[in-house]
Amino acid sequence: MKKFNIAGVCIKEKHYMVDTTDKIKKIEMMIEDGAYFTINRSRQFGKTTTISMIGNKSNNRRRSKRNSIR
């Protein structure tokens, strides 16, 4: 059963979340282009979760690139 998370990273399978797919894609494009960005919001807006999701996707891409080289 899903719950509302009030602290730390939200986990899609465990917590209610807003779909941030478009926001994540825009941030990833900025990172690929070498652009700077900030995430500046008040409490409970998903800053930690957003950064965690971007980091996980980036790590997964790096791992898949390393595996394809071998």
3 state SS of 19: coil
Low-confidence residues of the chain, pLDDT below 50? none
**Alpha carbon distance 9, 59 (integer Å):** 17
> Model-level pTM greater than 0.75?
no
Structure confidence at residue 22 (pLDDT): 93
Structure confidence at residue 70 (pLDDT): 64
**Alpha carbon distance 8, 64 (integer Å):** 27
Tokens 């997964």 map to which residue?
A: 60
